[in-house]
Amino acid sequence: MKTVKDYIRTIVDFPHEGIMFRDVTTLFADPRGMRLAIDQMLAPYVGMQIDKVVGLEARGFILGGAIAHQLSIGFVPIRKKGKLPGTVISEEYKLEYGEAIVEIHDDAIQPGEKILVVDDLLATGGTAAAGIKLVERLGGEIVGCAFIVDLPDLGGRAVLENLGYDIHALCQFEGM
């Protein structure tokens, strides 16, 4: 029987030499793989109150939408700066080389709502931490963070766990 990891393709030297890109589009394209990933991402949270799913741009939208549908709850996107219409709040974070900004609508989360944060891959944890800060600034309470892939050598899990968050990842790949 195939595992989630079996559905993920590795592309060598993309987008730069020395990078092993973990491509989850092959997982998404297979109906069994996609179902397996969604079911396993949800498993630790069965029976918990979750009011909304927050997905991080961009593959977190695919996962977040599917998970929100499965739970019959709302979905909230966290996007790169300038992509959301209307009033937003922003959070800046550091990348390996430079900085980036993510945004959320200022009315997307109500105080006290229980939020599950999802994305495809956990690397350094910068994007996830910025997204979590946005949710908390709106008064949301993070119940957990779910990812398909964890790249432990980049330290994202440790960053988020040291901030006190529950992390669930379906598989790990060594290296970058």
* Residues ≥6 apart with Cβ < 8 Å to 165: 132, 142, 144, 145
**For the chain, give me the number of helices (H) and strands (E)?**
5, 9
Residue 141 is among the residues annotated as catalytic for this protein: no
Residue 99 is among the residues annotated as catalytic for this protein: no
Half-sphere exposure of residue 118: CA atoms within 13 angstroms, side-chain side: 27
Distance, in Å, from the CA atom of 141 to the CA atom of 164, rounded to the nearest integer, reads 12
Active-site entry in 22, 59, 79, 157: 59
Active-site entry in 35, 57, 96, 161: 96
111: how many CB neighbours lie within 10 A of its CB? Answer: 8
* Residues ≥6 apart with Cβ < 8 Å to 174: 152, 153
Cis ω for the linkage preceding 100 (within 30 of 0): no
Q: Which residues are catalytic?
A: 59, 96
